[in-house]
Amino acid sequence: MRGAGPAALLALLLAGAPGTAAAQSDLALVPWPRSVERDSGSFRVTRGMRIVAADPRLAPLAAHAADLVEAELGWRPAVARSSGGPAIVLALARDTAGGPESYRLDVRARGISIRAPREQGLFYGLQTLRQLLAAGASVPGLRIADAPRFAYRGVHLDVARHFFPVEFVKRYIDLMSRYKFNTFHWHLTDDQGWRLEIRRYPRLTSIGAWRKETIVEKNFDPYRGDGMRHGGFYTQEEVREVVRYAAARHVTIVPEIEMPGHAQAALAAYPSLACTKGPFEVWTSWGVDEDIFCPSEATFHFLQNVLTEVIALFPGRYIHVGGDEAPKRRWKESALAQSVMRRHGLKSEEQLQSWFIQRIERFLRARGRRIIGWDEILEGGLAPAATVMSWRGMDGGIAAAKLGHDVIMTPGSHLYFDHAQGDPEYEPLSIGGNTPLPRVYGFEPVPPALTRAQARHILGAQANLWTEYLTTPEQVEYMLFPRMLALSEVVWSPKEARDWEHFKRRLPAALAALDRLGVNYRVPHVEGLESDRLSLSDTAMVELATLLPGASVIRYTLNGTIPDSTSPRYAAPLAIPVARGQVRVTARVFMPDGRASPPRTASVARTSLRPAERVDTARLVPGLRLAYYEASVGSASALARARPASVAVADSVALQGRERAEAFGLRFTGFVRVPEDGVYAFTLDSDDGSRLAIGSEEVVDNDGMHSEKAVTGMVALAAGLHPITVEYVQGGGGASLKAFVQREGGAREQLAGSRLAHLPD
């Protein structure tokens, strides 16, 4: 076992917890159950205890229960149909409220009982019991009544960019089911590889499953490849094996067969399916390729034959058809595509894509299946029974729910686990973005813009793990955990029970369990160095913290070097002398086994107050001047040189709701009111680029094309009015902009309302 001992890490904390009576124990359970009540006494699991399941249908679950006891306590109990002594009893009971996945777990002195209306509920009750047993053989008296908040609780794995063997796919499903996820989204086809055996089209795997090399890191221009052939595919028998394995763990697999875009691997195998002659090859780079399936009868014949075999392999309700990132250039230039548009009265290539998806949807619906597609399938009109997976922010999901369509929320801003988890300088190579653990935990799948009836269409949420830069199982696990633990609580636990501080107290126990499984999780980084620091005095106080108290230590340096196991140990807030210049503070969390978190670093410097501006306050009007640009300018910094399409007034630094979907910019100018002297932190949380300046001084640089991430900068300001400029650019995909201000030691507030003013033209 890696890390601290389980007894120390999994001790029960005697404190109140959200949604429970104050007197109950704060148990180390993730995700947190719907209802937990502490009972008197406890039950000691001894070698004489049995697993009892009177119903013969529960024999597999009884064997699973014995497996869990053996894994946690080191010995295997007997399984019986009845017992007069101490036992863990499994029973189907219709009186259990909460739906098919609900369960009741009762711990009393004479034994433990788990009751549920369906077998999946018993399975989830056993996952809770496993976490209780991890603390030792003595289980406190409890009454747990539990059921999930959402019916769809998903995790995705892209095996097209990098192929992963069957054994790792099974391990992935094991880890999902342990934390009560019930849907595995298996991304099987893309430009870089076709991973599923289709017997009618053998070239899909003999050619489409292999690329001659892979781009090295991000060497796009000029391109540089590694010269190493990469590929692989799953035989149909292997797929059936994985499907059976998942079903035993109550996980449904949603296969994804991309169309009409991301088709390069298929076109390399069958070039006649394209609108041009090619030649095509399995793509060795990343991004979005112009060549997509042509909307010909040959293409539909091919796709329907492929989907017929997919249906035979995957018994679940849903088939994912992609639908994202399909450039229309080839269709615009294709006589065949244009003739299809004229024949069916389609006015745009977006409507042609909608017609394409609707035709596939009719084929699948006639065979008892439903389609899921990324939110681009909204463009041009949505297929009647389609479920939308909203990835470009929440807007696509909101629009679909308002139209009466089911929705799975999976926005890049919170649930793309291929994004970095901390400072990119110290993180493994990734696609970009920054999605730290607190952001995942804070995600709310149901937008406030929906009515109660519309909100019922939000089926749940899903984490997506794309593998352009993930080549090994260890790298996948590093990106998955501990963020998957946070998401498990988002999709399972009651909304009112979610509490970040409570989750942090339970996190060490959950990570200790992953230690025992040998999971290569990311050690959470130090808290307290989220941005550079400024001080108005000669000494700055820096306070550091870890999410793993008692299981780790913090070590730091003040000279810019990376801390190691010999660096000073943090014990109390640091008094940093900054009178003579900038000091670089770097810190890491070290585990008992020597593993360490990625570094966190921040500069601390002495500063002075920036004087307020002299302004004719009688002329001031509320809000900021807002220039709106409809152009693809590439960066926020370029907006000042562009010509706005319109000018208005905004009462907040945020999206105004009237912008077009892509390729626009916003430039806010005016004054920010500062109530008193002090050091102020400004934060821009945006997808894509944003910048903030006070006067001529840039305070926040969050520029560039990226998914939603937050960047904070500090400036010392005297009380009064200060010129402010905020620039934002949206290039593609999701769009979001939020701005905050916080005086050191005070509460964070939105940059809005009475804080903002400008002089009229």
Q: Are 231 and 192 in contact (CB under 8 A)?
A: no
Q: So what's the pLDDT on residue 735? A: 86
Q: So what's the pLDDT on residue 96? A: 64
pLDDT in tens, 694-717: 999 999 999 988 888 889 999 999
Q: What domains are defined for the chain?
A: 6-146 (3.30.379.10), 152-492 (3.20.20.80), 533-606 (2.60.40), 617-758 (2.60.120.1560)
Tokens standing for residue 224: 């540089």
Q: So what's the pLDDT on residue 602? A: 94
Q: So what's the pLDDT on residue 203? A: 98
pLDDT in tens, 63-104: 999 999 999 999 999 999 887 789 999 999 987 677 999 999
Tokens standing for residue 271: 């070039």
Phi and psi based region of residue 333 (left: phi greater than 0; alpha: psi -120 to 50; beta: remaining): alpha
Phi, psi (deg, nearest 5) at residue 657:
90, 0
Residue with token string 């977006």: 350
Cα dihedral angle (465, 467, 468, 473), rounded to 10 degrees? 140
Residue 164 DSSP label: -
pLDDT in tens, 224-234: 999 999 999 99
* Cα–Cα distance for residue pair 556/565, rounded to 1 Å: 10
- Residues with Cβ within 8 Å of 609's Cβ and at least 6 positions away in sequence, in order, are 536, 677, 716, 717, 718
Q: So what's the pLDDT on residue 761? A: 84
Cα dihedral angle (184, 186, 187, 192), rounded to 10 degrees? 140
* Cα–Cα distance for residue pair 410/327, rounded to 1 Å: 22
Residues of the chain with pLDDT under 70: 1-26, 96
* Cα–Cα distance for residue pair 182/252, rounded to 1 Å: 6
* Cα–Cα distance for residue pair 495/759, rounded to 1 Å: 44
* Cα–Cα distance for residue pair 1/6, rounded to 1 Å: 9
Question: Residue 351 class from Cβ within 10 Å (0-12 exposed, 13-18 middle, 19+ buried)?
Answer: middle
Q: So what's the pLDDT on residue 58? A: 96
* Cα–Cα distance for residue pair 327/348, rounded to 1 Å: 13
Q: Known catalytic residues?
A: 190, 262, 325
